[in-house]
């Protein structure tokens, strides 16, 4: 506290502006670097005494606009700012990570925690560090401190994740600067997830300053606010997400939730699921419909058409059930990696099974086209400039095309939809209808009307 100047701020508020590159690995066009990045501009107010922060942010995504808003967050709660403060408990786990980019509130939290203890010493970033530990509802945290200066160097902890089970998170504080009014604050903070850079924050050194409290907006946490922290060791077992069904043909259906649509079809004696989205809970809901629509035992094939993380988050469940995976050859390494990943914080179906996984994964691949079920389903690569490695699926008997996530609108021309149209022309197929992860059954002609 003394090293950073926190014992001398009195009743002042820290104000700074920052820019962040936030690695959007989950939406990148490849599963390996380089990744696309979302860019975030922040205007931040920090109450060093209460440990609360107010963030006004503006996020820009490539190709899809962005988001903006204002949040108030503390160690135990998160609120959206409208005319009043709106509790946002489902956002608290994510905003916890944002708050940890600020070592002032981290040190403040630790200074008030009776569980803080000496945990060892080690070499980190070329110098000897003291490691402190504490126990919080979310689990164990470790703070690496430089024994010469008493500056915090790194905050480290494990965080649950819907696709990977968990990440080892490291927040590295570096390039220290002096705010106007005193103290010391990092000009650069980097968040690593399992060793990969996830967030890189740069603080505008010209703007960081301590200001009188009456010059700052109000961002007090309301008295009596419920603690929104997720307890460590609490196994989050989501109820099955039972989708709605929409009939496409005699044995072909859409499985629809508000978030994602998938295609399910029985061809000959094999059940084919075109994409496995969202989570294990969604996959269990899909499984419920499979048993209702197609009773009895059937071989199971899951087609993975692209690798956006939410699009494949149900795949581990189907691997645990013994399904064969079909995908583009360039996607195999990623699927091997996510199925090899150990889920130790909250074991899922695959972690509890003896199914083949990782490099032993049962997978069929294609680089151009592949016929399944003796021609009942035909897979093709889309292979446009923005859709390399992505697949579409055609069911000739229904003259139906599954367009993955690559037709998202027919209200205006789009790069993705044009590439799907071109792929259909190249392969010589002639759908009458199509659907996609965010599109209902739609006449195929509408794609051509705006993208031809």
Q: Among 68, 67, 86, which Cα is nearest to 77's?
A: 86
Q: Among 15, 6, 13, 230, which Cα is nearest to 111's?
A: 6
Residue 174, number of CB atoms within 10 A of its CB: 13
Residue ranges for the chain with pLDDT beneath 70: 63-64, 232-240
Same domain, 208 and 264: no
> 436 lies in a domain?
yes
- Beta carbons within 8 Å of 137's beta carbon, 6+ residues apart: 227, 229, 230, 231, 232
Same domain, 148 and 272: no
Q: Can you tell me the distance from the alpha carbon of 52 to that of 197, in angstroms, rounded to the nearest whole number? A: 26
Asked if 361 contacts 320 with a C-beta cutoff of 8 angstroms, the reply is no
Q: Can you tell me the distance from the alpha carbon of 370 to that of 106, in angstroms, rounded to the nearest whole number? A: 53
Q: Can you tell me the distance from the alpha carbon of 117 to that of 52, in angstroms, rounded to the nearest whole number? A: 24
pTM of the model: 0.91
Same domain, 101 and 249: no
> 308 lies in a domain?
yes
Q: Tokens representing 274?
A: 């075109």
Same domain, 161 and 285: no
Q: How many domains does the chain have?
A: 2
> 221 lies in a domain?
no
Final residue belonging to a domain, choices 215, 232, 265: 215
> 292 lies in a domain?
yes
Q: Tokens representing 197?
A: 């850079």
> 26 lies in a domain?
yes
Q: Among 99, 100, 140, which Cα is nearest to 117's?
A: 140
Same domain, 66 and 168: yes
- CATH number of the domain within which 254 lies: 3.60.15.10
Predicted local distance difference test score (pLDDT) of residue 232:
62
- CATH number of the domain within which 44 lies: 2.50.20.10
Same domain, 335 and 407: yes
Asked if 419 contacts 406 with a C-beta cutoff of 8 angstroms, the reply is yes
Same domain, 205 and 269: no
- Beta carbons within 8 Å of 149's beta carbon, 6+ residues apart: 3
Give the largest CA-CA distance in the chain.
76
Helix, strand, coil percent content, the chain, rounded in steps of 5: 20, 40, 40
Q: 45 φ, ψ to 5°?
A: -115, 135
> 233 lies in a domain?
no
Three-state SS across 256-289?
Answer: ECCCCEEEEEEECCEEEEECCCCCHHHHHHHHHH
Q: Is 313 exposed, middle or buried (0-12, 13-18, 19+ CB in 10 A)?
A: buried
Same domain, 211 and 249: no
Final residue belonging to a domain, choices 198, 215, 232: 215
Q: Is 242 exposed, middle or buried (0-12, 13-18, 19+ CB in 10 A)?
A: middle
The alpha carbon torsion through 394, 244, 64, 443 (nearest 10 deg) reads 40
Alpha helices in 215-343 (DSSP H): 280-293, 315-320, 332-340
> 199 lies in a domain?
yes
Asked if 445 contacts 438 with a C-beta cutoff of 8 angstroms, the reply is no
Lateral strand order in the sheet of 244-249: 244-249, 252-256, 261-267, 270-274, 300-303, 324-328, 363-366
Q: Can you tell me the distance from the alpha carbon of 97 to that of 232, in angstroms, rounded to the nearest whole number? A: 16
Q: Tokens representing 171?
A: 């927040």
Same domain, 132 and 277: no
Q: Can you tell me the distance from the alpha carbon of 448 to that of 289, in angstroms, rounded to the nearest whole number? A: 33
Same domain, 193 and 266: no
Final residue belonging to a domain, choices 199, 215, 231: 215
> 239 lies in a domain?
no
Alpha carbon of residue 126 to chain centroid: 32
Q: Among 395, 66, 15, 80, which Cα is nearest to 211's?
A: 15
Q: Over the range 374-394, which residues count as b (16 or more CB within 10 Å of their CB) and which as e? A: eebbbbbbbbbeebebbbbbb
Q: Tokens representing 188?
A: 């650069």
- Tens-place pLDDT, residues 286-313: 999 999 999 999 999 999 999 999 999 9
Structural domain containing residue 257? 244-451
Same domain, 202 and 276: no
Q: Is 233 exposed, middle or buried (0-12, 13-18, 19+ CB in 10 A)?
A: exposed
Same domain, 306 and 438: yes
Tally the residues of the chain: 452
């Amino acid at each position: 506290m003394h090293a950073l100047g926190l014992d001398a701020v009195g009743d002042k508020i820290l104000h700074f502006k920052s820019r962040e590159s936030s690695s959007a690995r989950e939406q990148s066009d490849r599963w390996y670097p380089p990744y696309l990045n979302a860019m975030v501009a922040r205007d931040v107010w920090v109450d060093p005494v209460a440990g609360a922060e107010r963030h006004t942010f503006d996020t820009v995504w490539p190709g899809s606009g962005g988001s903006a808003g204002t949040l108030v967050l503390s160690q135990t709660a998160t609120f959206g700012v409208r005319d009043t403060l709106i509790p946002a408990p489902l956002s608290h786990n994510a905003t916890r990570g944002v708050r940890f980019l600020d070592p002032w509130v981290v040190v403040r939290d630790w200074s008030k925690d009776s569980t803080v203890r000496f945990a060892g010493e080690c070499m980190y970033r070329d110098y000897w560090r003291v490691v402190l530990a504490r126990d919080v509802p979310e689990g164990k945290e470790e703070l690496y401190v430089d024994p010469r200066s008493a500056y915090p160097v790194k905050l480290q902890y494990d965080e649950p994740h819907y696709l990977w089970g968990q990440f080892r998170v490291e927040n590295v504080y570096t390039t220290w600067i002096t705010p106007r009014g005193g103290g010391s604050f990092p000009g650069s903070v980097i968040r690593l997830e399992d060793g990969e850079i996830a967030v890189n924050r740069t603080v505008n050194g010209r703007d960081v300053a301590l200001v009188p409290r009456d010059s700052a907006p109000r961002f007090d946490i309301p008295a009596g606010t419920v603690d929104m922290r997720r307890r460590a060791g609490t196994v989050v077992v989501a109820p099955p997400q039972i989708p709605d069904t929409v009939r496409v043909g005699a044995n072909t259906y859409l499985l629809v939730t508000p978030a994602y649509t998938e295609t399910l079809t029985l061809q000959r004696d094999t059940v084919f699921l075109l994409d496995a989205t969202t989570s294990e809970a969604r996959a269990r809901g899909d499984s419920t419909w499979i048993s209702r629509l197609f009773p009895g035992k059937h071989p199971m094939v899951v087609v993975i058409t692209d690798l956006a993380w939410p699009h494949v988050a149900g795949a581990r469940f189907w691997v645990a059930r013994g399904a064969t995976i079909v995908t583009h050859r360039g996607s195999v390494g990623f699927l091997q990696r996510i199925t090899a990943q150990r889920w130790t914080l909250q074991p899922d179906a695959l972690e509890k099974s003896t199914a083949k996984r990782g490099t032993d994964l049962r997978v069929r691949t294609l680089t151009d086209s592949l016929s399944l079920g003796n021609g009942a389903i035909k897979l093709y690569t889309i292979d446009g400039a923005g859709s390399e490695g992505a697949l579409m699926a055609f069911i000739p008997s229904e003259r139906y095309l599954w367009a993955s996530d690559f037709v998202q609108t027919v209200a205006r021309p789009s790069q993705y939809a044009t590439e799907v149209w071109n792929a259909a022309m190249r392969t010589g197929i002639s759908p009458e209808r199509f659907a996609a992860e965010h599109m209902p059954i739609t006449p195929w002609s509408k794609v051509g009307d705006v993208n031809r």
